Amino acid sequence: SQQGEEDPQALSIQEGENATMNCSYKTSINNLQWYRQNSGRGLVHLILIRSNEREKHSGRLRVTLDTSKKSSSLLITASRAADTASYFCATDGPFSSGSARQLTFGSGTQLTVLP
């Protein structure tokens, strides 16, 4: 089964509202990353949070990590129609070694921002 699972599976909000997506995982991690995917396109990296970090910001994005609950959340503030996309969390587990990191992706949250 996949390491990360996002919640909700789909989210629809009005432009200007905040969007919060959650990710839960099962085993301990080195880091957790969030990616965005526009329909039919490749993924774009948004933010990486290390296992010893609790919160990280990047522009309108805020990510939190609670390793005791094995969960993370992605908050997009003041959403825009252009934020409409699927958002995935990906975890890099403790047994991943070497220069290639074996990320395990969740099934994603489909965010729709209505103008």
Binding residues vs other proteins (CB under 8 A)? 2, 4, 30-31, 33, 35, 40-45, 48, 50, 88, 90, 92, 98-108
CB nearer other proteins, residue 35 or residue 79: 35
Contacts of 38 (CB under 8 A, 6+ apart): 85, 86
Closest Cα to residue 73, out of 13, 8, 1, 16? 8
Least Å distance between CB 100 and other proteins? 4
Least Å distance between CB 79 and other proteins? 22
For the chain, the distance separating the N- and C-terminal CA atoms, rounded to the nearest angstrom, is 36
